[in-house]
Each structure stands twice: as C-alpha cells, then as structure tokens.
C-alpha cells in the first residue's frame, strides 16, 4: 500500500438492553480497558489465578521481541483445568459435550464422563509409545472422540495437530510430514449430507507418503465394522477398553507446546502455527468467559469444527476451562433442510451461538421462513468470526435470529492470535460493519507502513503492539516465517488485514492487505465493495478482485451469487452498479460483474479471492490445498 486512504464510514449503532451490561462479566469496557493498560501484568496475573496450576510463575511475562514467554516457569496441565477441576467439584454431572449426529443420534457426556474417557484414551496413546513432545495427528469427523483425542494428547504432553476431516490426502500428508506425527487418529468414516466420507481410505492414500507414522488408531463407526490392518491399525474401542482408567495429568511447563495447527491459507501455503500451554489456556479461558459472557446455565454452540482454531479455542479449550456445556453437531447447516441449525437451537435450548458470516449469508439467502419455524427465544448472545460481517448480514442476524434482543459479538482474531482480540463486549453499543474495539488485554492499532497511527476514517494496517498470552510462539520448523510477522512494520505484529477506526475507536476490517485493489490511485479494500453489493436485495454473496487496466491501474471485477429465487435478469448489472455508486461513490463501481452459482471458498468458509483472480487473469492460483471441493 503506497499511501493511506479514506473510507466512508456510515454510522449506525444499536444499544443493547441495559440488563446485558449490568450482569456482564465485563460490565464496563472502558474501565476494564484502562485497568488493563495501567498494569497489563497485574491484569493477566489476576485472571491466571482463577485457574489451577501445579506451580505458580516467577514472572507474568518476558518480552524479548519478537519472542515472548508467559507465566514464566509455571507448571500446569490444561486438562486439569478443563476436566479435573470440574469433575471434582459441582460440575461433575453437568454435561460437558452434547453431540448430535446428522441422523439425529445424540450423546451427552458429563464432565466426569469426559474426564474418564480422556484418561483412558491418554493411557491408550501411552501404550502405543506416545510421550511428551511427540506429535499426534487427528483426522476425524465432528464426533466427541475427536475432542477426547485432543484432550488425551494434552493430558500426556503430546502435541496434537488436528487436520479438518474435510481435507483430502495431499493436505493431510503435507501436515503429517511437516509435524512428523508418530500416531494418526482417524475414524473409518464421517457422515455428510446423508453420504459417508471415506476418511480411512483418504488417510491410507496419505499414509503411503508419511514415513513418520508408526500406528493408526481407527474409530469404527460403520456396521459391520471394517477389518483393520493388524500391522499398523489399532481399534479405538479396544485401545480404550484395555487401558488403565487413571492417567495423572503430565506436568507441563507453561511454554511447552500444546498443539500445532495449520492456517487455513486463503492467501498462501499453510503454516504450522505453534501454541503453548500456559498463555493459551489463560487467553482462551478469559475470552470465552468474558466475550461470550458465559454463565453457569449457558449452552454454547460454536458451529466450527474442532479442526480449526475456532474449534480449538471456543469449542474445546476455552469453554471447557470455563466449565460450560458445549454443543457439537456433525452435519451441514442446510441438511436435510435450511432449518437444521434452528431446529437444533430450539431442541437443545442453545443460549450462545457462534458462527461465521459465510453461514449467516447462506441463511439469508434461503429466507426468513426457515428460522421463523423455530423457537429461538433461548438465544442470548450471538457471535461471528472468520470474515467481515457485512452490515446487511449483521442486521439480519440481529433481527431475524436474535429477535433484536441478543448482543452480537463479532470477534476478530486469527489462528496466530489463538484468542479473540477485537470485539464489541456484551453490553457496549454495537455498530454494524465494525468488529468493535480491542478487548481488555489486547493493544491494537491501525497504522501506516512506518507504524504511525492513521487518523480515524483513514485505512491502514491492523497491528498488535504488545505481546498477548495466547500468541503463537513460532511456525513449526520455520522460525523465519514467525519472525516475518514482526518485521513488516517496526515494533508491531502485522496481522495482514486492512482496517479503519472511527472516532470512537471502533475497528472495521476491510479485508486482507494482499487483496487490496488500487483503482486510479485510490486504495479500495475488498470488504467495503462486497458489503455494498450484499446490501442489494438480490445479492447473497459477493467477492471482488482487481483487474489490471491500462488507464486506471486496476478496475474492479465483482463475482456475485444471488438470493434464492432471484435470476440475473434484465438490468440487474446496471442496478448493482448504481447501488454501489450510491453507497461508495464512482471509484468503487465494478467495471465488470459476473454472476456465479457459488464462490470459491476455503474449507473453513472464507472466500478465496486469489482463486478468482488467477482464473480471471490466467495465472497460477498457487497453493489450493485448502480450497473446498
Ligand atoms: O482476515 C481476518 C479474518 O480471518 C483471518 C484469520 O483467519 P484464520 O487464521 O483462519 O482464523 C479464523 C478464525 C479466527 C483474519 O486475519 N477474520 C477473522 N475474524 C474476522 C475476520 N475478518 C473480519 N472480521 C472478523 N470478525
């Protein structure tokens, strides 16, 4: 980006019911933020003391840029907090996990039950020779055993690398090899849209190229049970049945690695992000509790898969550390019909619902009649993550799903940050299009290339100025790539996103810096134009790219999907162009608009503009292992 640029900020605010604020864990954002800034170490020290540790820390934080250590020399095990603490107390019989299969099958696992399942599987892993520091790859559908396997690794100090069950053999092999995993945990199949996904077959293709893997644990779901290869494969149920029931939690140093997770890679080759035990535990516990305002009776449904960071932090570690009930469901939002999610909210009495803009836009596309069929009155808090929540999608989510009653927490963060960094805390005024402000605990800014803050209304780079507990510690096997995050802008962690702040300090994310479009000298973030298009009644989703143009440098090309029942009839292109002109001005009007049935997305649901651009310009799209089928 050569120079900064101005962004038109249309401001609308929603004031939540004052009762939300009065009862929130963070009842006064401004005061909490000031308290944090006065003494960040005291702030984190206080939160960390709410959890149990084997040994306390010598120092809260040590910062030798770009390397940070948190809760220095403290000893802990994250599962002692997620399991033992609850199982030994009043949450013993409280449901920890409520699982729904696509066929309606249900399983409820209490904290006590989960504690025991995890200990047995942990002993099972030990019997296969897995020890502290060994890497275990988990390639499973969304079943409770996927979470059990993660926690069992953490229990014995093995480092898990979860690979989303929607990935194919090449992506799996690449991740296994990069982490040099010793054991692979899989299921024979997953179920999706009434069909079986042959995970074991896919894994066996990968295993032809993964010399590090010694044993494969297979969860068998199909009947009759598939026959296993006795040389390499072990039955999950057998392993657990043979294992001893008690497995004490391994004493981990605060800075020991907890897991490796590969980034979704909407802009480049996946990186193995490394997270460690102590800081990650504190960061996810605190943000889960405060940003979702979790109370004892809440039922939280985060619709992500544990194979993404969203699932790691806000299905597994954060909510379980808090001791809440989490819902998980194997299946897709629109199967068997577009009411599937709302039926589940009604049936299970979900109170906190956390999903992605891609899903919200999909629901909007199907229309209001689907949620209208169900009683959504248990919902209390609505969350969003993964992409900018377009103002239109915000309004729909707020009114149609939340009944104008539920605060929306649009959480900005990354695989790398491990925890939420920006949101509008429950009870604070909400502004559609803006994620919100840095949470108490995060020091963030919007800056120019040299690191100087840009004035409100001016676009710039989104950066983090101070280390935070759940920050990544390195990129597995490639520390150079870790250091690169801290090099682009002096003294800052560069998130790679463009953003703009308003007068009140609210931050709007404008898209990835790599996707920036420069038209006749004007910088244009993708999110603005896309949101303008999505605010047209006919449009469900939009993606824009820059196309080289001899006169203007670049022109905008838009790819658009339409709402159900709308066809790209006469004059729609002109109408869309007029609509964008009206909201953003002539410079942002797409020179070309193409209608599509669907947009290319990563398997985690992010639009891949890079793929559209490559196709348009006849270029190589680069690494596309994360692209949906
Ligand atoms: O571009 C931002 C976008 O997702 C990126 C991080 O992606 P990933 O590591 O896959 O993690 C996704 C789940 C945390 C960010 O750099 N992003 C994430 N949340 C938001 C967002 N963009 C706008 N608003 C958000 N709330």
Q: ipTM score of the complex?
A: 0.99
pLDDT digits (tens, 9 = 90+) for 433-489: 999 999 999 999 999 999 999 999 999 999 999 999 999 999 999 999 999 999 999
Query: What is the predicted pLDDT for the residue at 267?
Result: 56
Domain boundaries, the chain: 520-617
Say what the pTM is. Answer: 0.93
- Whether the per-residue pLDDT at 586 is higher than 90: the answer is no
Question: In Å, how far are 358, 370, 373, 544, 564 from 362, measured between CA atoms?
Answer: 6, 12, 17, 18, 10
CA-based R_g, the chain, Å = 24
pLDDT digits (tens, 9 = 90+) for 173-199: 999 999 999 999 999 999 999 999 999
Cα–Cα nearest to 442, from 401, 480, 413: 413
Asked which of 75-84, 181-190, 585-594, 615-624 is least confident by mean pLDDT, the reply is 615-624
Task: State which of 303, 412, 507, 610 you would mutate to test the pocket of ligand 1, scoring each by most atoms of that ligand within 8 A of its C-beta.
Answer: 412
Q: Is the CB of 604 under 6 A from ligand 1?
A: yes
Beta bridge partners of 273: 261, 475
CA distance 541 to 245: 50
| Residue keyed to tokens 């292992």 | 625
Dig out the tokens for 169 from the structure: 């053999």
- Pairwise pLDDT comparison (568 vs 209), residue with the higher score: 209
Kind of pairing between the strands at 474-475 and 272-276: antiparallel
Distance 119 CA to ligand 1 centre (A): 34
Q: Is the CB of 309 under 6 A from ligand 1?
A: yes
CA distance 545 to 557: 5
DSSP classification of residue 513: G
Which residue is closest in CA terms to ligand 1's atom 8?
Answer: 414
Query: What is the predicted pLDDT for the residue at 225?
Result: 96
| Three-class SS state of 112 | helix
Which residue is closest in CA terms to ligand 1's atom 11?
Answer: 414
Neighbours of 575 (CB within 10 A): 13
| Residue keyed to tokens 């103002």 | 391
- Helices 277-291 and 40-48 cross at an angle (nearest 10°) of 90
Which residue is closest in CA terms to ligand 1's atom 6?
Answer: 414
pLDDT band for position 139 (50/70/90)? very high
pLDDT band for position 266 (50/70/90)? low
Q: Is the CB of 386 under 6 A from ligand 1?
A: yes
Distance 422 CA to ligand 1 centre (A): 11
Contact call for residues 68 and 62 (beta carbons, < 8 A): yes
Distance 410 CA to ligand 1 centre (A): 10
Q: Tell me what percent of the chain is helix, strand and coil, each rounded to the nearest 5.
A: 30, 25, 40
Q: Is the CB of 415 under 6 A from ligand 1?
A: yes
Question: In Å, how far are 120, 235, 236, 336, 503 from 124, measured between CA atoms?
Answer: 6, 11, 9, 37, 56
- Whether the per-residue pLDDT at 2 is higher than 60: the answer is no
pLDDT band for position 584 (50/70/90)? confident
Q: Is the CB of 495 under 6 A from ligand 1?
A: yes
User: E-strand spans in 25-163?
Assistant: 59-64, 67-72, 75-76, 95-100, 106-110, 135-139, 159-162
pLDDT band for position 373 (50/70/90)? very high
Distance 386 CA to ligand 1 centre (A): 4
Contact call for residues 431 and 13 (beta carbons, < 8 A): yes
- Whether the per-residue pLDDT at 522 is higher than 60: the answer is yes
Cis amide bond preceding 37, omega within 30: no
Distance 273 CA to ligand 1 centre (A): 15
Task: State which of 308, 388, 413 you would mutate to test the pocket of ligand 1, scoring each by most atoms of that ligand within 8 A of its C-beta.
Answer: 413
Which residue is closest in CA terms to ligand 1's atom 21?
Answer: 387
Mean pLDDT over the full length of the chain: 94
Kind of pairing between the strands at 257-262 and 252-253: unpaired
Contact call for residues 264 and 626 (beta carbons, < 8 A): yes
- Whether the per-residue pLDDT at 372 is higher than 70: the answer is yes
Percent residues over pLDDT 90 in the chain: 83
Give the burial string for 198-226 (b: 16+ CB within 10 Å, else e): ebbebbbebbeebeebebbbbbbbeeeeb
DSSP classification of residue 292: T
Which residue is closest in CA terms to ligand 1's atom 22?
Answer: 387
pLDDT digits (tens, 9 = 90+) for 83-97: 999 999 999 999 999
Distance 497 CA to ligand 1 centre (A): 9
Query: What is the predicted pLDDT for the residue at 73?
Result: 98
Asked which of 90-104, 369-383, 385-399, 544-558 is least confident by mean pLDDT, the reply is 544-558
Contact call for residues 516 and 529 (beta carbons, < 8 A): no
**Average confidence (pLDDT) over 95-119:** 96
pLDDT band for position 620 (50/70/90)? confident
Provide the CATH topology of domain 520-617.
GMP Synthetase; Chain A, domain 3 (3.30.300)
Query: What is the predicted pLDDT for the residue at 542?
Result: 96
| Three-class SS state of 267 | coil
Question: In Å, how far are 117, 126, 238, 247, 271 from 244, measured between CA atoms?
Answer: 11, 11, 12, 8, 36
Q: Is the CB of 530 under 6 A from ligand 1?
A: no
Q: Is the CB of 414 under 6 A from ligand 1?
A: yes
Cα–Cα nearest to 331, from 323, 320, 321, 339: 339
Backbone angles phi, psi at 530, to 5 degrees: -65, -40
Q: Is the CB of 264 under 6 A from ligand 1?
A: yes
Backbone angles phi, psi at 59, to 5 degrees: -140, 150
pLDDT band for position 268 (50/70/90)? low
Distance 385 CA to ligand 1 centre (A): 6
CA distance 429 to 618: 45
Query: What is the predicted pLDDT for the residue at 1?
Result: 52
pLDDT band for position 550 (50/70/90)? confident
Distance 471 CA to ligand 1 centre (A): 15
pLDDT band for position 265 (50/70/90)? low
SS (H, E, C) 229-250: CCCCEEEHHHHHHHCCCCCCCC
Dig out the tokens for 232 from the structure: 């390499």
Question: In Å, how far are 94, 409, 506, 525, 593 from 9, measured between CA atoms?
Answer: 46, 20, 11, 13, 24
Dig out the tokens for 461 from the structure: 């780079």
CA distance 466 to 51: 23
CA distance 442 to 590: 36
């Amino acid at each position: 980006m050569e120079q900064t640029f101005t962004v038109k900020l249309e401001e609308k605010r929603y004031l939540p019911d004052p009762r939300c604020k009065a009862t929130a864990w963070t009842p006064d954002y401004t005061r909490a933020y000031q308290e944090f800034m006065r003494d960040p170490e005291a702030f984190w020290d206080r939160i960390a003391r709410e959890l149990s540790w084997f040994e306390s820390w010598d120092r809260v934080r040590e910062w030798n840029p770009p390397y940070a250590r948190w809760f220095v020399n403290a000893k802990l095990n994250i599962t002692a907090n997620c399991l033992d603490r609850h199982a030994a107390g009043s949450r013993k019989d409280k449901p920890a996990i409520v699982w729904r299969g696509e066929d309606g099958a249900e399983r409820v696992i209490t904290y006590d039950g989960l504690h025991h399942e995890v200990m047995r599987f942990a002993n099972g892993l030990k019997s296969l020779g897995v020890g502290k520091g060994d890497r275990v790859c988990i390639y499973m559908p969304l079943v409770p055993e996927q979470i059990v396997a993660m926690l069992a690794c953490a229990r014995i100090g093995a480092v898990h690398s979860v690979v989303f069950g929607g990935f194919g053999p090449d992506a799996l092999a690449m991740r296994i090899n990069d982490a040099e995993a010793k054991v692979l945990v899989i299921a024979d199949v997953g179920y999706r849209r009434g069909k079986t996904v042959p995970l074991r077959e896919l894994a066996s293709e990968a295993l032809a190229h993964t010399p590090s893997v010694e044993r494969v644990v297979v969860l068998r779901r199909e009947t009759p049970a598939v026959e296993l290869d006795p040389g390499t494969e072990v039955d999950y149920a057998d392993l657990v049945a043979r294992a001893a029931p008690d497995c004490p939690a391994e004493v981990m140093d605060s800075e020991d690695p907890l897991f490796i997770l590969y980034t979704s890679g909407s802009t480049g080759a996946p990186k193995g992000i490394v997270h460690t035990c102590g800081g990650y535990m504190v960061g996810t516990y605190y943000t889960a509790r405060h940003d979702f305002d979790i109370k004892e009776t809440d039922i939280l449904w985060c619709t992500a898969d544990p194979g993404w960071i969203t699932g790691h932090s806000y299905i597994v570690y954060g909510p379980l550390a808090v001791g809440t009930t989490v819902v998980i469901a194997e299946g897709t939002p629109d199967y068997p019909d577009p009411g599937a999610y709302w039926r589940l909210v009604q049936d299970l009495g979900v109170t906190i619902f956390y999903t992605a803009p891609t899903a919200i836009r999909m629901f909007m596309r199907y229309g209001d009649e689907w949620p209208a069929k169900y009683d959504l009155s248990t919902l209390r808090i609505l969350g969003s993550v993964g992409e900018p929540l377009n103002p239109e999608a915000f309004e729909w989510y707020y009114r149609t799903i939340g009944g104008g009653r539920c605060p929306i927490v649009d959480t900005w963060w990354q695989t790398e940050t491990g925890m939420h960094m920006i949101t509008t805390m429950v009870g604070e005024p909400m502004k559609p299009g803006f994620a919100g402000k840095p949470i108490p605990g995060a020091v963030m800014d919007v800056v120019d290339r040299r690191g100087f803050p840009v004035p409100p209304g001016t676009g710039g780079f989104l950066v983090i100025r101070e280390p935070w507990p759940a920050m990544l510690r390195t990129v597995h096997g490639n520390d150079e790539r870790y250091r690169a995050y801290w090099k682009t802008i002096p003294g800052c962690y560069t998130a790679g996103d463009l953003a703009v702040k308003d007068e009140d300090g609210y931050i709007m994310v404008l898209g990835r810096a790599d996707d920036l479009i420069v038209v006749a000298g004007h910088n244009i973030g993708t999110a603005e134009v896309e949101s303008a298009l999505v605010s047209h009644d006919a449009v469900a989703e939009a993606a824009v790219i820059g196309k080289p143009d001899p006169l203007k440098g670049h022109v905008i090309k838009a790819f658009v999907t339409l709402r159900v029942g709308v066809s790209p009839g006469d004059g729609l292109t002109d109408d869309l162009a007029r609509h964008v002109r009206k909201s953003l001005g002539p410079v942002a009007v797409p020179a070309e608009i193409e209608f599509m049935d669907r947009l290319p997305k990563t398997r985690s649901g992010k639009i891949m503009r890079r793929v559209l651009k490559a196709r348009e310009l006849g270029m190589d799209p680069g690494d596309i292992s994360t692209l949906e089928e």
